[in-house]
Structures are given as C-alpha cells and as structure tokens.
C-alpha cells in the first residue's frame, strides 16, 4: 500500500513552498506564449472557447472546457499547469522518501522543492511543465517496475506504474518536443537497470508500448485538428515564422543579394527578422517559404562550428541553475550512499552535453529548454539512490526547518527571483513593474474608440501589454482582444484573429494600416514598404504617446492609388 505518512511529508513540504510563492511572489506565466494560448482557450478573440492551442495538445484544452463552463472567470489553463507541478513534485518527494528513508528523504525533498520553487511555481511555462511531468512520470514508471521486481507483489507497484504512464501522457500533451527530449535519459536509466528489471521484462515491454502508443495517438489526434481548411494557411505560416524569428546564423548578405535578384527590396529581410510579417500579399506564407529556403541555403557553418565547440563552455553557466544544483547534489548522494550505479552521474552528464550540442546546432538552446535537460538528469538519478547509513531524526527536522526559515526570510526581505526564460539570467520577480508605459491611458484610449477600430502592434509591445491586464489565474472577457493584433508573433493567420479583423474590414493588416479605422502601435517605419508595394505616397502622424508606447496613424497623401491603379 501507498505509505500515507511519506505522502504527507512530501505534500506538506510542497504546500509550504507553494504558499511562500503565493504570499511573497508575483505569480505569472514565464512566457508570453502561455498567456495567448490560455487566452485562445478562453475566447479572447471573440469566437468562443477554442482548443487549438498550437504548442499544447488540444486534449489539454478539452479536459479543461467543463471547468471553463462552470467557472468562466478562472484561468484553468494556468491552474492546470500549477497543479501539474505540485502533483509532480509531491510524487517526486514521496519516491525520494521511499528510496532513502524518512530522515534522508525529508532532507532531499526540501532541497529539491526549494530549488524548483522559483523556476516552476513563480514562473510557470508549458515547456518546463512538460519536462517536469515527463521526468516525474519516468521516475514513477521506473520505481513501480522496481517495486514489482524486488518485492512481494502488491497493488503499490501498479499504482506507481499507472501514475507514471498518466504523467508521461500529460507531459506529451504540454509540449511534445520536451517529452521526446527526455527519451535518451529514460532509455539510459532503463538500460542501467536492465538486470534488476529482467524478471519483469514482459511488464516493461507492455507498459512501454502503452506509453508510446498512447502518446503518439494523442499527437496524431492533435495534428488532425489542424488539417481543417481554416487552419491551412496558419500552419503553413508557422515553419517560416519560427525560422525568421529564431534562426540567426546564416549569411545575411548572401540572402539579401539573392532576394534582390527575385525582386525583393533590401528592407524585406530586416523587416522579417524584426517580426514585421503580417502582410497577406508580399509576405504571404508561400512567399515566406521562398525566403526561408534561401536562408536554409546559406546556413553559415562558420557560426555553427564555434557553437558546437563550446558545448563544454555552457557548463559553467549551467552550474548557476537551480536544477543543475539538484542534479549535482543527487550525484553526490549516489557516491555518499555508495550506490553501485554511480555510473549514472557520468552517463547523464554525457547525454546532457550531447543534447546541448544538438540544440546549439538547431539554435534552440534557451533556458526553459535547458532546465528540462537538467531536470531529466536530476530526477532520473533518484532510482539509483539507496540509503546506506542512518542519521538522527533531529538532524533531519533541523535541516528542513533551517531551509524553510532561510527561504522565508529571503523571500520576505529581498523578494523572490526568477530566471529569464531565454538567457537564464536572474531577474527580480517584479522586474516588469519597472515598465514606465502608461498602460492605464492606453487602455482608456482603446476603450474610447468605436468597436470597428483595429490596433496593429509591434510584437514586443503586444507581448508587454498582454501582461498588464489581469493576473494569470483570471481570464479576460471573451472578445477582449478582437481589436488588437500584432505584426509578428505566432498569432497571424490564426482563424479567430482573421475573423475578428475581417469583420472590421481589414484583410491585409500591413496594407490596410491606411484605413480610417486602423491605428498602428510602435511601428512608425512602414512608409517605404507601403510606397514600394501599394501606394504612391503615405504619411504617418503621431496620435498619442503613452509614455513610451506610441500610437500612429498612417494615411494616404493626395488620394494615392494602389500599384494596380497607377
């Protein structure tokens, strides 16, 4: 049977640190992507609830829909992510206590949760959730098999195995790529335990088959939802969008020269790499693909090779990360407890380095991804732990209390900190409050204009504004973003966005900035582009400056004609 005392120890430790984060932190999404995915789910673009979350499996949305119908003001997307972390860390703590005993288990659990709190509770993000769920699922899966292989069979191992499968499935929903990223660690851990698990090999095979058939089935179902005609152009846009926004290492001069040969102006590439591409004619998805094919042609290996050579150079920076410290401490515990499988320390490090090299090659090594690598390495160290010597109960209680008090004082005096979603640099949780923009005035202006008005925003301004409206645990009213779109980001061509602007007479956001009902925010530089492709003469006037965020109005001069009318 499940040891209720061990569950209680882990539950209370997690509850304490979650309480600290709620009391002293500024709970938020770590990435803007979550804000808009949760907004799409709750209907901010005016088309009702929508489970097409782009990066997160639609099944997550379907599971939450009943809760949205019952309590529409609660952001259940956010609550679900927070619950996933709490459940995962509670299960991790329970398994740790089982592996090394109550006294050592309490010490290791409080260290793990204390180091994870800021990264996960304070700054939740779907990629990190996927890694946490998947890593915990792998841990529960392996521990359940261990229990069956080494003890008199009880229902305990079945419970753990089922938990492992469910958590792995949930992790695959939250971010498919993050789920797959953990597979090398999972395979390596099972390989090192093959002798111990050999007697239950049939159970291992069947359980793994259930995991992967289910996970790939869920992924197939999710992809099938985007085959609808409404989503065709949106999905065609996603590949070029990602490369233009994130792919930095290529010979830009050579690309510019080739673009000139096919009649693209020299300003095309700078516009696209600054996320100004919501133009349905000049920068239509098929046109973007022509440009990204050129970029792929000139992927510059002289930039990539130094990155690959510097894989080991990333480790000193990783040493500052909380999850790295967890991995390091658990590896020390392996040696301290004289585990026969201390080889895992070196094997997991090798896998991390290989994955970092691969991510550097793809130009996708950002903190939210790297934290997942170290999390897999850390949590899959736990199956190899084994208690070798006892300590007095008072030492365990004292250590837990000291960590709890130090963390409390740190949060209360200096405030909690989080790590930047891309760079991993430490920033105060309140750093966004230094934004001096007069959002109150901006929102008042937006509310004062007719409903037929459309605001087209520069991407960074669009993202910054999204954090200012409501806390993450509440939803915005349905339709509250119908009038506001971005020139960039991943939302262009999303069907709900397209329907919202089409009913206001906007069919090509970049071309239609000259319409009477369209304002542009923080992009005063479109004149040359518009004059080259659409109009004879365009002027831009400043309408309002909200302390750094500026609203502009583009208009035609002397009844300029479109190119077709010249």
Higher confidence at residue 465 or residue 265?
A: 465
Quick: pLDDT tens for 31-58. 899 999 999 999 999 889 999 999 999 9
**149-158, 202-211, 445-454, range with the lowest pLDDT:** 149-158
> What is the C-alpha separation between 103 and 467, in angstroms, rounded?
42
> Is the pTM here over 0.85, yes or no?
yes
Query: Which residues lie across from 551 on neighbouring strands?
Result: 521, 544
The four Cα atoms 53, 55, 58, 60 give a dihedral, to 10 degrees, of -100
**Helix runs in 310-431, H state only:** 315-318, 322-336, 343-362, 367-379, 393-414
pLDDT (0 to 100) of residue 254: 77
pLDDT at 243 over 90: no
* 189 CB burial (10 A radius; 0-12, 13-18, 19+): buried
Measured CA to CA in angstroms, residue 340 lies from 99, 138, 335, 383, 384 at distances of 14, 21, 9, 12, 8
Contact 97, 110 (CB under 8 A): no
Q: What mean pLDDT comes out for the span 525-546?
A: 94
pLDDT (0 to 100) of residue 235: 95
pLDDT at 300 over 70: no
DSSP 283: T
Extents of the domains making up the chain: 4-30+75-224+310-427, 229-303, 439-565
Q: What are phi and psi of 152, to 5 degrees?
A: -65, 125
* Residue that is written with structure tokens 């080259």 in the block: 532
Contact 33, 129 (CB under 8 A): no
Q: Hey, is 441 helix, strand or coil?
A: helix
Quick: pLDDT tens for 111-130. 999 999 988 998 899 999 99
> What is the C-alpha separation between 61 and 57, in angstroms, rounded?
7
Residue 101 gets the label, from left (phi > 0), alpha (psi -120 to 50) or beta, of left
**Long-range contacts formed by 357-365: CB under 8 A, 24+ apart:** 357/308, 357/311, 360/304, 360/307, 360/308, 360/310, 360/311, 360/314, 361/304, 361/307, 361/308, 363/246, 363/247, 363/248, 363/249, 364/246, 365/314
Nearest CA among 302, 425, 310 for reference residue 359: 310
Higher confidence at residue 47 or residue 108?
A: 108
pLDDT at 431 over 80: no
Contact 37, 129 (CB under 8 A): no
pLDDT at 433 over 70: no
Quick: pLDDT tens for 244-282. 876 666 667 777 777 777 767 667 888 888 899 999 999
DSSP 46: S
Q: What percent of the chain stands above pLDDT 90?
A: 65
Higher confidence at residue 471 or residue 313?
A: 471
pLDDT at 181 over 90: yes
> What is the C-alpha separation between 365 and 462, in angstroms, rounded?
24
* Residue that is written with structure tokens 């860390």 in the block: 89
pLDDT at 303 over 60: no
Q: Cβ neighbours of residue 439 under 8 Å, at least 6 residues apart?
A: 465, 468, 546, 549
Neighbours of 137 (CB within 10 A): 27
pLDDT (0 to 100) of residue 348: 95
């Amino acid at each position: 049977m499940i040891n209720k005392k061990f569950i209680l120890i882990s539950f209370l430790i997690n509850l304490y640190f979650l309480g600290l984060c709620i009391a002293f932190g500024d709970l938020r999404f770590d990435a803007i992507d979550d804000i808009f995915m949760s907004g799409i789910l709750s209907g901010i673009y005016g088309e009702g609830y929508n489970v097409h979350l782009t990066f997160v499996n639609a099944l997550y949305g379907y599971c939450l829909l009943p809760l949205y119908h019952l309590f529409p003001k609660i952001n259940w997307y956010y609550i679900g992510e927070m619950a996933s972390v709490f459940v995962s860390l509670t299960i991790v703590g329970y398994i740790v206590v089982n592996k090394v005993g109550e006294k050592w288990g309490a010490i290791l659990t409080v260290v793990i949760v204390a180091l994870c709190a800021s990264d996960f509770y304070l700054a939740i993000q779907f990629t990190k959730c996927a890694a946490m769920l998947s890593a915990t699922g792998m841990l529960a899966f392996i521990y359940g098999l261990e229990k069956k292989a080494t003890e008199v069979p009880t229902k305990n191992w079945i419970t753990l195995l089922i938990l492992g499968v469910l958590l792995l499935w949930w992790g695959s929903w939250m971010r498919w790529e993050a789920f797959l990223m953990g597979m090398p660690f999972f395979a390596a851990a099972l390989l090192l335990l093959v002798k111990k698990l050999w007697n239950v090999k049939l159970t291992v095979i069947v359980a793994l088959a259930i995991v992967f058939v289910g996970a790939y089935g869920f992924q197939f179902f999710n992809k099938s939802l985007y085959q609808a005609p409404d989503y065709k152009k949106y999905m065609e846009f996603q590949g070029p969008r990602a490369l233009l926004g994130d792919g930095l290492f290529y010979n830009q001069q050579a690309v510019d020269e080739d673009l000139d040969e096919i009649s693209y102006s020299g300003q095309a590439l700078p516009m696209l790499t600054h996320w100004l591409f919501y133009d349905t004619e000049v920068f239509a998805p098929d046109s973007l693909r022509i440009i990204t094919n050129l970029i792929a042609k000139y992927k510059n290996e002289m930039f990539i090779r130094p990155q690959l050579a510097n894989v080991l150079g990333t480790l000193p920076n990783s040493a500052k990360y909380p999850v790295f410290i967890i991995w390091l401490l658990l590896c020390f515990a392996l040696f301290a407890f004289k585990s026969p499988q201390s080889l895992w320390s070196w094997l997991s490090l090798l896998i991390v380095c290989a994955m970092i090299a691969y991510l550097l090659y793809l130009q996708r090594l950002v903190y939210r991804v790297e934290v997942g690598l170290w999390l897999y390495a850390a949590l899959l160290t736990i199956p190899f732990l084994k208690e070798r010597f006892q300590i007095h109960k008072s030492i365990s209680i004292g250590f837990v209390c000291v960590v709890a008090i130090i963390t409390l004082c740190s949060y209360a005096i200096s405030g909690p900190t989080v790590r930047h979603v891309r760079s991993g640099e430490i920033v105060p949780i309140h750093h966004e409050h230094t934004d001096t923009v007069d959002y109150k005035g901006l929102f008042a202006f937006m509310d004062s204009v007719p409903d037929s008005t459309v605001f087209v925003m520069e991407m960074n301004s669009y993202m910054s504004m999204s954090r200012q409206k409501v806390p993450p645990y509440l939803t915005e009213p349905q339709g509250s973003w119908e009038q506001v779109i971005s020139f960039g980001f991943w939302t262009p061509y999303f069907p709900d966005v397209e329907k919202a602007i089409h009913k206001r007479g906007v069919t090509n956001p970049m071309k239609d900035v000259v319409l009477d009902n369209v304002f542009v925010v923080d992009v005063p530089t479109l004149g040359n582009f518009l004059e080259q492709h659409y109009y004879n003469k365009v002027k831009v006037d400043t309408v309002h400056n909200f302390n750094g965020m500026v609203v502009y109005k583009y208009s035609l001069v002397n009844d300029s004609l479109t190119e077709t009318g010249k």
